[in-house]
Amino acid sequence: MTDIESKIKKAFELSDLLYSRERDKILSDLEKDLPRISRESQLSGGFNTSIHVNKIFERRIEAIKRLVNFRIKLDTREINGVIDLITVEVCEKIYGRAKHLIEAQIENLKFEMEKYCRRFPGPNNYLDMIGGHIKEEKNKLISYTKREVEIFQRQYKSNMKRDEKKERKLIVSEIINKIDSINILMKNNYKIELFDIQEQKIWNSLLEPCQDKKDFVLHITALSSLIDWINIKGLKGFLKIESKNGSINYLEKFLQEKYSNYDLNIIKRLRRIFTIRKMFVHKVTQESIRAIRELNVEYLNINYEELWDKILLDFYASLRQLEEILISQII
């Protein structure tokens, strides 16, 4: 795998993670709205009418459009974050992912609408009408996708190469922004900050190149310190049952009690950072070897730069999800 291919793969992995969160919310909203539309149609005396069927169809199409929009938006944003030269091949990958989503969602739409229409008298009339609408909407979505990807390519087409320090600076900058945002949200919601940053120079450690094992140990130690600066004392005041010792344990208990539906991967990623650190500071264990392999890095021939980049990405992903959880409470 070339350097560019590796960066694209990493960008799509983060995009998929963020997309799954948006997808779940969009589909959850859809499932809430469909019964409401039917109830309103029944109350108005229009339950067994094409107007009712059209409203159900339009609400489902709206959800698909939002899914496609987020797929394109997240893919282009994450790709733009790691490479400067937007080639035809890169755009084809973005288009292909969106097109695959469209085809899958349209097939599901067809199945759901056929099943729904058969509940009414004379379903064939509805099915003929819906069949034409489905084909039309699919063509619109594909045209929209092509246009958006072409616009993206024109906007970001460049022959400049991104150096590794610039790329790392970008992700560390985003980490800083997310921590600041999380602290503000926690201050608003719970009157405490989640991260008690004790040394600002820690950011310089995260920005330095990671060329070998020695660099990696310094980097992951700094990142572990950042996680250790989670405000245990502040979280403790909100727990009904006291947690086991350790910053991650306290954060996990806090999320369990306050946000029971939180994504378990938030904590899993943070624990993995500690697990990997232990093998370099203390001793190698099967658990630490497994943690490295979970990041698709070969333990017997570790590429420390690759491993460090994936760990930073993991940490960033957890921060983004934490921020989303706290924002959802405000909304």
Rounded Cα distance between 254 and 183, Å, is: 15
SS3 282: coil
230 and 121: one domain? no
Q: Do 264 and 208 lie in a common domain?
A: yes
Q: How buried is residue 105: exposed, middle or buried, by Cβ count under 10 Å (0-12/13-18/19+)?
A: buried
Same domain for 221 and 129? no
Domain of 149, CATH number, reads 1.20.190
Residue 187 shares a structural domain with residue 217: yes
At 83-130, the pLDDT tens digits run 766 778 888 999 999 999 999 999 999 898 888 877 777 667 767 778
Range of the domain at 8: 3-156
Do 137 and 168 reside in the same domain of the chain?
Answer: no
What pTM was computed for the model? 0.52
Predicted local distance difference test score (pLDDT) of residue 160: 38
Residue 6's alpha-carbon distances to 82, 265, 290, 309, in angstroms, are 10, 22, 21, 11
Give the model confidence (pLDDT) of 148-187 as tens digits. Answer: 888 787 766 533 334 555 666 788 888 998 999 999 999 9
> What is residue 301's predicted lDDT score, i.e. its pLDDT?
86
Do both 286 and 148 map to the same domain?
no
In the prediction, which pLDDT does 164 show? 55
171 and 24 together in one domain: no
Same domain, 136 and 173: no
Number of independent structural domains in the chain: 2
- Cα separation, 1 vs 78, in Å, equals 19
Indicate if 277 and 176 belong to the same structural domain. Answer: yes
176 shares its domain with 288: yes
Same domain flag for 125 and 195: no
Measured in degrees and rounded to the nearest 5, phi and psi for residue 241 equal -120, 130
